[in-house]
Amino acid sequence: MKFEDYPIAPEIKRNLADAGFKRPTDIQFKSIPAVLAGEDVLAIAQTGTGKTAAFAIPVLHMLHAGKKNSRNNGIRCLVLEPTRELALQITEAFQQIGKHTRVQTLCIFGGVEQAPQIQKLEAGIDVLVATPGRMFDLISQGYVKLDQVDILILDEADQMLDMGFIKDIRDVIKHLPQKRQTLFFSATINENIKKLAYSLVRNAIRIQISPKDPVAKNVQHTVAFVEMDDKRFFLERVVRENPDTKILVFVRTKVRAERVQKAMERVNIDSKTIHGDKEQKDRLDVLHNYRAGNFKILIATDVSARGIDIPDVDMVINYDLPDQPENYVHRVGRTGRGMRKGKAVSFCSTEEKIILEQIEGFLGKPIQILEISRDEYAETINFSEQPSPGWNNILKEIEKNEAELAKWKKKKKK
């Protein structure tokens, strides 16, 4: 079945054709008819399967078809997202697919001035894409009213739970009409997600796209056993031996992201970081420039980069193995998207071997080991152009990182 065969607005069909979308993915094929029929939907599908369009296409059609020439007052659809980057990405998708329709979409999130957001809210919108913090701020000030919402969409629900938003989700329900359509989309499913989902949906149609291999077949996976203190040398070597490769590097913490970036800076490798401690404008600038190819190496934490659609990533490097096995799938899903080939390289230290076993158990198969001889290992350490920073500089860097961490913890308590 092609998109042109669906009973959706011609404007939406034209936008999909202009974007090069001809046939629906599995999650879209199974979700769109159910959403169009007004059913509650619980959909589980891995990263990169087209979940956004699976709810955006039918929702945009229903809102467009239900509007007259004059604007309706009130928000008709609320989309909740765990991060600012995801909220912006989803908004762009709604705007692209909904071009030339009568549907207006607005994204609101914290970390920026609220006045422009309030001005757009007061002008009237149909779809509100929001992160919980800013949305509740504007609800308390009386600028956001959710009493006319027909459709609630919880996107990346597993990440919402991981980030502790369950209370926010339950609080927002109090502001919504009891009679509404609820769409629940998640990359993974567990007992906590099931419990939340079934407390929100009514007689939901459950759709689960679970391929035998949870990661894309066109991604080559390897793991190298590298001790924690030596990882920076191996990262440098991989980068220098692949000068034209677009690489996304995952680390475990925000402080570690900055530390790795400084290590690359000392050997004259241009890289940027993205994590929750950076100002919103800086995060958006970094993503924009990385997408545009203005630099090749992006160092990220799981929360800030998960679910973000970054085109043409050639290689994912797990500088640190993820604490949760399923996050391995989310990370490597940034490469090998569509018909492109991708590579996933993991650095595993002695203390991380138990995590590697858990990841392989989750995948249902072992990851190919990249054998490194003693001579090759020593050669990689010597390969580095990094000068010895000296004990004083090391201590200063540790003190700086600890101060940044303390500052972040203090800010978090507020």
3-class SS at 247? strand
The residues near 308 (Cβ < 8 Å, ≥ 6 apart) are 85, 86, 89, 287, 334
Domains 3-209 and 219-407 share a fold: yes
* Sign of the CA dihedral with 86 first, then 91, 96, and 98 last: positive
Could you give the CA distance from residue 14 to residue 71 in angstroms, rounded to a whole number? Answer: 23
Task: Output the CA–CA distances (angstroms, integers) from residue 29 to 1, 136, 157, in the order listed.
Answer: 8, 34, 21
pTM reported for the whole predicted model: 0.71
Q: What tokens were used for 11?
A: 């404007």
219-407 maps to CATH 3.40.50.140: no
Per-residue pLDDT of the chain (414 residues; tens, 9 = 90+): 789 889 999 999 999 999 888 899 889 999 999 999 999 999 988 766 788 999 999 999 999 998 654 445 689 999 999 888 889 989 999 999 999 999 999 999 887 888 999 999 988 899 999 998 889 999 999 999 999 999 999 998 888 887 778 888 888 888 999 899 999 998 777 788 788 888 888 888 888 876 555 566 778 999 999 999 999 999 999 999 999 999 999 999 999 999 999 999 999 999 999 987 888 788 888 988 998 889 999 999 987 666 677 878 999 999 999 988 888 888 888 887 766 789 999 999 999 999 999 999 988 889 999 999 999 999 898 876 554 444 445 445 555 665 666 665 566 555
pLDDT at 227: 95
According to CATH, the superfamily of the domain at 3-209 is: P-loop containing nucleotide triphosphate hydrolases (3.40.50.300)
Backbone angles phi, psi at 216, to 5 degrees: -60, 140
Question: Hey, which residues does 105 pair with through a beta bridge?
Answer: 127
The domain spans of the chain are: 3-209, 219-407
Backbone angles phi, psi at 156, to 5 degrees: 50, 50
pLDDT at 103: 94
Q: Where are the beta strands (DSSP E) in 204-305?
A: 205-209, 219-225, 247-250, 271-274, 297-300
Burial 202-220 (b: 16+ CB within 10 A, else e): eebbbbebeeeebbbeebe
pLDDT at 405: 61
Q: What is the distance, to the nearest Å, from the Cα of residue 378 to the centroid of all Cα atoms in its chain? A: 37
pLDDT at 394: 44
Query: Cβ(78)–Cβ(130) under 8 Å?
Result: yes
Could you give the CA distance from residue 405 to residue 403 in angstroms, rounded to a whole number? Answer: 5
Task: Output the CA–CA distances (angstroms, integers) from residue 74 to 145, 335, 370, in the order listed.
Answer: 7, 39, 57
Closest to 381 (Cα-Cα) out of 236, 222, 225, 241: 236
Closest to 143 (Cα-Cα) out of 124, 166, 163, 165: 124
pLDDT at 338: 63
pLDDT at 398: 52
- 3-state DSSP of 107-145: EECCCCCCHHHHHHHHHCCCEEEECHHHHHHHHHCCCCC
